[in-house]
A and B are shown apart, each in its own frame.
Chain A
């Protein structure tokens, strides 16, 4: 396996986290919309496994098919709860938990990038 570029990987994860944040935002905004199915992104490991493959083809029009520029497919979330009469599958608490995870990962990501960036800068200085 070829060496992984740290900054490249961090950029990819940051993008993935942003797409996940937009999917969470869509779910929370549509928590009361009848017939809306909650969405989520593919796990990051899966994204790394097939970076070259575009996953656009799997998305149909009625789901949020956007934010797939980088191939992070947004697909309907697996739902194991009770079926509501409105057929809405959003659980706001879970969405807020996911949002917390996104925030923590994002903080770690930016901290790592900042640390390595300043190390590079200090080496290159005078």
Chain B
């Protein structure tokens, strides 16, 4: 799942998009690529870390652009990748929330 997200951020990683289909609560999707997370929580915090990283980069580039000394294309690229990773993170968050609700509604 994590390399799949990485693949969406301009960097094609081992594992590609197929790994992204493995979002099963408690399921263990085969993880490949950098830093194999040992648990779901770790994988999640990796994602969040990456998202925050791209967001901060985009903010920095934008501030430089507003001050007048940044390459336009770089700024646009940075902002777009931030938008992509944020969108992904929000989608994951929504999925997790709805999965949790579904689990909590299961008859014991």
Contact = CB atoms under 8 A, between A and B. Distances in A.
A and B touch in the complex (CB under 8 A): yes
Nearest to B55: A119
B77 to A, nearest CB: 12
A29 interface: no
A123 B86 contact: yes
Contact of B94 (A48, A108, A126): A126
A115 B94 contact: no
Interface residues of B, number: 19
Interface residues of A, number: 21
Interface stretch (B11-19, B27-35, B42-50, B58-66): B58-66
B52 interface: no
Interface string B67-108: 110001001100100110011001000100000000000000
Interface of A: 4, 6, 9-10, 13, 44-45, 48, 105, 108-109, 111-112, 115-116, 118-119, 122-123, 125-126
10 contacts: A4-B63, A6-B59, A9-B67, A10-B62, A44-B67, A45-B67, A45-B68, A122-B86, A123-B90, A126-B94
